[in-house]
Amino acid sequence: MAKITVDGQQYEVDPKLTVIQAAAQQGIEIPHFCWHPKLSVAGNCRMCLVEIEKMPKLAIACATQVADGMVVKTKSEKVINAREAVMEFLLINHPLDCPICDEAGECKLQDYSYKYSVGYSRFEHDKVHKPKRIELGPRVMLDVERCIMCSRCVRFSDEIAKQPVLTFTQRGDHVVLTTFPDTQLDNPYSMNVIELCPVGALTSRDFRFKSRVWEMSSTESVCNGCARGCNTNIWVRNNEVLRLTPRFNDDVNSYWMCDEGRLNTFKFVNSEKRLSGPFVKKNGALTRVGWDEAIAEAVSQLKTFKKSEMAGIGSAYATNEDNYVFQRLMKETIGTKNVDVVPHVKEGDEDDILIRADKTPNMLGATEVGVKPADGGLSLKGILQGIADGGIKALYVLEDDIASIPEIAAVLPNLQLLIVHSSVQNKTTEMADVVFSCSTYAEKHGTLTNFQGRVQRIRPAVSTIEQDRALDGFSMSRWDKFASRNDRWGRPNKRDARPSWRIASAVASALGAKTRYNTAEDVFQEMATRIPAYKGLSYLKVGSRGAMIQHSSKTVSSRPTVSV
Amino acid sequence: MENIILPNIPDLHKIDVYELHGGYKALRKALEMKPEEVTDEVKKSNLRGRGGACFPTGLKWTFMPKQTMKPKYLCVNGDESEPGTFKDRQIFEFNPHLLIEGTLIACYAMGIHTAYIYIRGEYGKWVKMMEKALADAYAKRYVGTQILGTGFSTEIVIHKGAGAYICGEESALMNSLEGERGYPRVKPPFPAQVGVWGCPTTINNVETISNVPHIINNGWEWYSKIGAPKHPGPILVGVSGHVNKPGVYEMPTGVPLLDIINKYAGGVIDGKSIKAVIPGGSSTPILRGDQLDGVCMDADSMKAAGSAVGTAGVIVMDEDTDLIQVLTRIAKFYYHESCGQCTPCREGTGWLWKIMKKFERSEARKEDIDLLLDIANNVEGNTICALGDAAAWPIQAMLRRFRDEFEKRVKPEIVRVETGAVA
Ligand SMILES: Cc1cc2nc3c(=O)[nH]c(=O)nc-3n(C[C@H](O)[C@H](O)[C@H](O)COP(=O)(O)O)c2cc1C
Ligand code: SF4
Ligand code: SF4
């Protein structure tokens, strides 16, 4: 251990650390642009200059290793002057187009301008002009005038995404970020450079000009694109999801997420195909009905089958809570042993960064909470065979468009009863007799268990008709707080949907079950007492970063394999 | 003292002529010594680098790790791009084998088996001359495997730069050699730990290395008595500007600047008086013409006078010189050559030049004088490499020594006079 002094306070730190790392560990932020905990040290922005006793010049905290007895000053006059100078330099050629820049509101340069800059400029010349609106790749746009040459994007592409296509050309204040000839920034992780970029030089082509940052609320969530379960934030304006961004979790996804998960796992939440309210098939057509009627219809139909004639398919997309209540409904209330889940694996579509071949976020969770055949019950194969043979006559499906798989679609017409939970209209709902419109992962509380066995929480970011952002403790944007009913953005589009655990629980009650749950957390608490792997867990323990289950499954690697 | 780096021997660039005049004898002698003894000899000679910083050469060599599994490298720095400096070129042209011999001895001393001679891209002619000399040296087996029948082997590779001043900065030079963009590296780690290809590396200037054979031939005591005791040896001084005989002159260190100008370079054109002298290449602080008495071409004397030896490129400016124009041109050079990596230099060099242009056009305001100094101070010492300093020093020195020149270029303020009458 090395004893160091920072701004008069003594600390004992690991001697292998740099000053900026040691300070960060003690909760002291030394301002910086180019330094990033997961990238190599570039030392180019000069924002982290600090005074170190016995050193002739100011030193950059990012590249200076701590030493026993080192005395660091991060707030001395010399340091403050140097910082103000760096800020002034950074801003002289910057376009200062914050009013039309997507980054405004979450821009390091803007934030630091308020915090560390004098607030005026002594520069009275023409600014250097550089290329704008450059398509760096299919998903990322570049404005070189805003670039501060921190090289974070270059280092990310080289070191993390392993696609070294970015470089600088020209010299001095004419330096231009660009791609090498005949290459583009199109790796599966390319969009991470957008958050890495401390300014608005790199923007998302999907999100560009969609919203000011402060108009959106941001809610901690988990990506449902694959079994990695990257931690995310869901950004919502006027009850519409506008973007996902990665959220740091060193045990799961570091600071990153893949482009596929970022772009293609939220649009269905806003989709035109969303179901609002339950449907029952009447005279061959799905007809919108009330919840009570739909539940009564489902119950009365279910009662006409023998236990062995019924089967349930849980969902690797739904939460642990949904699956848990569902399997209780199937096994305990309805009394069938035939329960399983459909896997969705894309062989080969994986890498050793984040992407997993299992394209569901909760396969492990679903089976851990009991979505698997009871002793003597039929597995998925058996259930499908049973439907084909006519032995299985009624099927209850949780949040999975199973009819999009041709082998399954082929047997479904044999069924006499198909009950489906779905948030969107799809091939399976078209074949169903009863459809319950359920909340998406962006509209409910719950947990998902990733391939490592890490239980992670999701939270509602979009509200359904039953919810109120303020009363139900949602994250609130400026608009959410200040809009009135006459404002366009004060009348959001809300859907009539309920979390699957509540629907399943209501069906179970209608069938005579005693247990009732008021919240997803109630469900989780029961899981924690009944399922050994969840023993001792609670929402509090799961927190923002997740918690490991004591899993029984052999398919799980207990150590995180993410190496980024 | 007779010239030893650039002796007046016709055709010395030819290997037979070089051999006839004792060439490659020092190599033979060195190979009979222990490598540590060679380093020790250089250390005791007090040879100091001729690449700008006057760093003790022998000491630098001792920074190279002795026990290492990695290969070690020598880079001979012939990027020579500092305005006012054109002395290494003379060695390439007139005494290339001295450089090759020195390179070989340095390699032997440090246990190096690959040396790169990095020559600035614009020196096409001199690259060819060096290549010819090297081919001859290879043919005579001075370079390559089992040199002179000993167990010692070294390859020498000539690398042509692509035309950037910054690639003379030692760590940018290494990046450039590796095929990377010529960006200086953050130090530490220093090249002796992590240099070319991540391996221990020493970088020395062309002229520095060319001193080594003489030290080995004649011994450190002989060498250390040449010129100024603390900064001894012969030095190549390039004189340019308003002198009758501009050129490169070899002399012992410690020669008075006025002698350099008047005795070596034939005095100022038309007998005019000297307004200012930049003594060591464009980055070194300018001296006033009336400050030159007693200032000599060695590290201590220059330091005492508030300047530096740098690369001994003496730029002489007569009484009619527009120093603001000179400084504007210098500022433009550093702006043009800033690699653009680190914030203060990337942004500051351009800003300094833009303000200097205002002075040049006599459109500056009074406040611009202080602004100029403030920007230069904000660049100096806060950058990755010394180019930032090199850009700041000339401005700081000019403001210190010729403030009146700036004041003369301030645009008179237009004062609005209220007449009281309304038309
Ligand atoms: C911007 C910049 C340019 C430089 N250019 C040269 C050069 O052209 N030739 C040179 O020998 N040294 C140059 N140097 C100095 C080198 O970094 C290095 O100190 C020198 O080559 C060491 O040689 P020496 O110890 O023999 O003097 C430059 C330094 C800087 C900061
Ligand atoms: S584009 Fe952004 S991340 Fe990349 S170098 Fe410029 S400022 Fe840094
Ligand atoms: S000081 Fe100038 S030349 Fe040196 S690294 Fe910084 S920007 Fe490049």
Domains observed in chain A: 2-91 (3.10.20.740), 125-269 (3.30.70.20), 279-558 (3.40.50.740)
8 Å CB contact between A36 and A14: no
A559 CB within 8 Å of a chain B CB: no
Give mean pLDDT, residues B175-192: 96
Name the closest ligand to CA A142: 2
Q: pLDDT above 90 covers what percent of chain A?
A: 93
Residue A558 pLDDT greater than 80, yes or no:
no
- Tell me, in angstroms, the distance from the centre of ligand 3 to residue B393's CA: 15
Residue-wise pLDDT for B371-415, tens only, equals 999 999 999 999 999 999 999 999 999 999 999 999 999 998 777
Q: Which atom of ligand 1 is nearest to the CA of B173?
A: 17
Report the residue among A142, A152, A168 best suited for mutation to probe ligand 2: largest number of ligand atoms under 8 A from its CB: A152
Per CB-CB distance under 8 Å, the chain A contacts of B337 are 171-172
Residue-wise pLDDT for A412-440, tens only, equals 999 999 999 999 999 999 999 999 999 99
CB atoms within 10 A of CB A473: 11
Residue-wise pLDDT for B333-347, tens only, equals 999 999 999 999 999
Residue in A63, A82, A167 closest to B382 by CB:
A82
What 3-state class would DSSP assign to B256? strand
Q: Provide the pLDDT for residue A556.
A: 46
Residue-wise pLDDT for A232-272, tens only, equals 999 999 999 999 999 999 999 999 999 999 999 999 999 99
Per CB-CB distance under 8 Å, the chain B contacts of A92 are 347, 351
State how beta strands A202-204 and A140-142 pair. antiparallel
pLDDT band at A551 (very low <50, low <70, confident <90, very high): low
Residue-wise pLDDT for A275-325, tens only, equals 999 999 999 999 999 999 999 999 999 999 999 999 999 999 999 999 999
Per CB-CB distance under 8 Å, the chain B contacts of A47 are 343
Residue-wise pLDDT for B131-151, tens only, equals 999 999 999 999 999 999 999
Residue A554 pLDDT greater than 50, yes or no:
no
pLDDT band at B36 (very low <50, low <70, confident <90, very high): very high
Per CB-CB distance under 8 Å, the chain B contacts of A158 are none
State how beta strands A240-246 and A285-288 pair. unpaired
Residue A560 pLDDT greater than 70, yes or no:
no
Q: Provide the pLDDT for residue A562.
A: 39
pLDDT band at A555 (very low <50, low <70, confident <90, very high): very low
Q: Provide the pLDDT for residue A488.
A: 73
Residue A388 to residue A398: CA distance in whole angstroms:
20
**Cβ of A39 below 6 Å from ligand 2:** no
> Would you call A172 and B339 a contact, using CB atoms and an 8 Å cutoff?
yes
Residue in B164, B344, B351 closest to A86 by CB:
B344
Give mean pLDDT, residues A40-66: 98
Q: Provide the pLDDT for residue A530.
A: 96
Give mean pLDDT, residues A469-496: 86
Nearest residue in chain A measured CA to CA from B378: A85
pLDDT band at A557 (very low <50, low <70, confident <90, very high): very low
Within B181-291, strands assigned E span: 201-205, 227-228, 231-232, 234-241, 247-252, 274-278, 287-288
Which residue minimizes the CA distance to atom 3 of ligand 2? Answer: A197
Q: Provide the pLDDT for residue B422.
A: 56
Buried/exposed code over A141-162 (b: 16+ C-beta within 10 A; e: otherwise): bbbbbbbbbbbbbbbbbbebbe
- Tell me, in angstroms, the distance from the centre of ligand 1 to residue B312's CA: 13
Distance from CA of A92 to the nearest CA of B (A): 7
- Tell me, in angstroms, the distance from the centre of ligand 1 to residue B77's CA: 7
Give mean pLDDT, residues A107-135: 96
Q: Provide the pLDDT for residue B116.
A: 98
Give mean pLDDT, residues B408-423: 76
Query: For the CA atoms of chain A, what is the radius of gyration?
Result: 27
> Would you call A44 and B341 a contact, using CB atoms and an 8 Å cutoff?
yes
Q: Provide the pLDDT for residue A552.
A: 57
Residue B31 pLDDT greater than 90, yes or no:
yes
8 Å CB contact between A156 and A165: no
**Cβ of A139 below 6 Å from ligand 2:** no
To the nearest 10°, the Cα dihedral for A140, A145, A150, A154?
40
DSSP per-residue string spanning A309-361: GEEEE--SSS-HHHHHHHHHIIIIII----EE----B-TT---SSS--SB--S
Residue A428 to residue A441: CA distance in whole angstroms:
19
**Cβ of B342 below 6 Å from ligand 3:** yes
Average pLDDT, chain A: 95
pLDDT band at B416 (very low <50, low <70, confident <90, very high): confident
